[in-house]
Amino acid sequence: MEIVTVPCLSDNYAYLVKAPDGVCLIDAPEAGPIIEALESRGWELDTLLITHHHHDHVGGVAELRERYGCTVVGPKAEEAKLPPLDTAVDGGDTLQVAGTPVEVIFVPGHTLGHVAFHFPDAQAVFTADSLMALGCGRIFEGTPDMMWESLSKLIALPPETLVCSGHEYTSANARFALTIEPGNEALKLRSDAIAKARTEGRATATCKLSEELATNPFLRPASPEIRDRLGMNDAPDAAVFAEVRARKDSF
Domain ranges of the chain: 2-249
**Is 144 within 8 Å of 241 (Cβ atoms)?**
yes
pLDDT for position 233: 97
Do the annotations mark residue 54 as ligand-binding? Answer: yes
> What is the architecture of the domain spanning 2-249?
4-Layer Sandwich (3.60)
pLDDT for position 195: 97
Contacts of 250 (CB under 8 A, 6+ apart): none
Contacts of 22 (CB under 8 A, 6+ apart): 44, 46, 47, 98, 99
pLDDT for position 49: 98
pLDDT for position 20: 94
Which DSSP symbol is given to 218?
G
Residue type, 158: P
Q: How far apart are CA 244 and CA 185, in angstroms?
A: 19
pLDDT for position 219: 98
Do the annotations mark residue 129 as ligand-binding? Answer: yes
Do the annotations mark residue 56 as ligand-binding? Answer: yes
pLDDT for position 251: 94
Provide the 3-class DSSP secondary structure of residue 193. helix
Do the annotations mark residue 55 as ligand-binding? Answer: no
Do the annotations mark residue 52 as ligand-binding? Answer: yes
Alpha helix segments (H runs only) across the chain: 31-41, 55-58, 61-68, 144-155, 170-180, 185-199, 209-215, 224-230, 237-249
**Is 82 within 8 Å of 58 (Cβ atoms)?**
yes
Among residues 158, 153, 167, which one has the least CA distance to residue 219?
153
Provide the 3-class DSSP secondary structure of residue 123. coil
Q: Provide block-wise average pLDDT over 10 residues at a time, the chain (251 residues).
A: 97 97 98 98 98 98 98 98 98 97 98 98 98 98 98 98 98 98 98 97 97 98 98 98 98 94
pLDDT for position 140: 97
The residue count of the chain comes to 251
Residue type, 68: Y
pLDDT for position 38: 98
Q: What is the DSSP string of 19-44?
A: ETTEEEEE--S-HHHHHHHHHHHT--
pTM here is 0.97
Sheet holding 87-89, edge to edge: 2-8, 12-19, 22-26, 47-49, 71-75, 87-89
pLDDT for position 224: 98
Query: CA 61 from chain center: how many Å?
Result: 18
pLDDT for position 87: 98
pLDDT for position 126: 98
pLDDT for position 26: 98
